[in-house]
Amino acid sequence: MNLAKRNISMNQLNPHTWVDRYADYLFNYAIARISDEEVAKDLVQETFLAGLKSAKNYKGTAAERTWLIAILKRKVIDYYRKINSKKGKAEIRVNYKPGIDSDGDWLEEQVADPGSILENDFIENEELGLAIQECISKLPKKQSAVFTMKTIRGLQTEDICNELGINPSNLWVMVHRARTALMGCLNDIWFK
Amino acid sequence: MINCEEAQIICHKTQYKDASFWETLKLRFHLLVCKACASFSKKNTRLTTLCETASIRSLSDKDKVRMKGTLEDKI
């Protein structure tokens, strides 16, 4: 690709590695915003294709991953615009709790509880998930494959060995390297 | 006695509940006498907790192969 040559000293795009390095990262970002798994998958795929299409506009100032996530962000917004326009217009709904006699102060009951940590937990967990995913994408390909299969997909050691054609001691050495790298990569704030 | 390298490998195995009873025993003993590994083990366990709370999801190989195919067609 001539584009890669132009940005010698800058960040470069390498679409051949996109799926291996960023698909999970982008998928987690999308699934946190759109709970429909199929739609999230489609958006990730569209992001890659859009990235390829607009590769000539990539200036190399942002990291490849940041650039792709910016595209995905727009795809997510477009998605919500589209489903809203299908319904005719954007809707805001305020639901009564069905079955509860809530005359009088129902609106007050709907106000967010400032003492609730649920919302913050959700945001924090998402941040954490993306931080981990980012660190995984920096691992060498084999290590990230082994780590993902073992930790995230929860596969058995034997199955992973069969699939990758390695023996268990190879596997544990790779797990060791991956986990050590992740401990170093994840910001200290997560380890307090 | 096991050395630190072996202890770390067993420590990883325990994170996935893959260590045998005997291995776990050897690790426990090593952690009693080795501060460096004890701190490593603590950090390692924290990493496991982090990965669990983050509820990270992963695309299946099938999906990735499909995505790669579509992408490679356009490159």
Would you give per-residue pLDDT tens digits along chain B (75 residues)? 889 999 999 999 999 999 999 999 999 999 999 999 999 999 999 999 999 888 788 888 889 999 999 988 887
Whole-number pLDDT of residue A85 = 77
Cβ contact, residue pair B12, A175, below 8 Å:
yes
Cβ contact, residue pair B46, A152, below 8 Å:
no
In chain B, residues with a C-beta closer than 8 Å to the C-beta of A139 are none
Q: Is A97 or A138 the better-scoring residue by pLDDT?
A: A138
Average pLDDT over residues A114-128: 71
Whole-number pLDDT of residue A172 = 96
Give the Cα separation of B55 and B52 in Å (integer): 6
Give the Cα separation of B7 and A189 in Å (integer): 26
Whole-number pLDDT of residue A118 = 61
Give the Cα separation of A155 and A42 in Å (integer): 25
| Residue of A27, A35, A52 to mutate for B, most B C-beta atoms under 10 A | A27
Give the Cα separation of A14 and A30 in Å (integer): 22
pLDDT at A6 over 60: no
pLDDT at A114 over 90: no
HSE-CB at B36 with a 13 A cutoff on CA atoms is: 5
pLDDT at A119 over 70: no
In chain B, residues with a C-beta closer than 8 Å to the C-beta of A182 are 47
Considering only CB atoms, B9 lies closest to which of A24, A28, A172, namely A172
Cβ contact, residue pair A28, B57, below 8 Å:
yes
Whole-number pLDDT of residue A108 = 61
Q: What is the CATH number of domain A1-94+122-134?
A: 1.10.1740.10
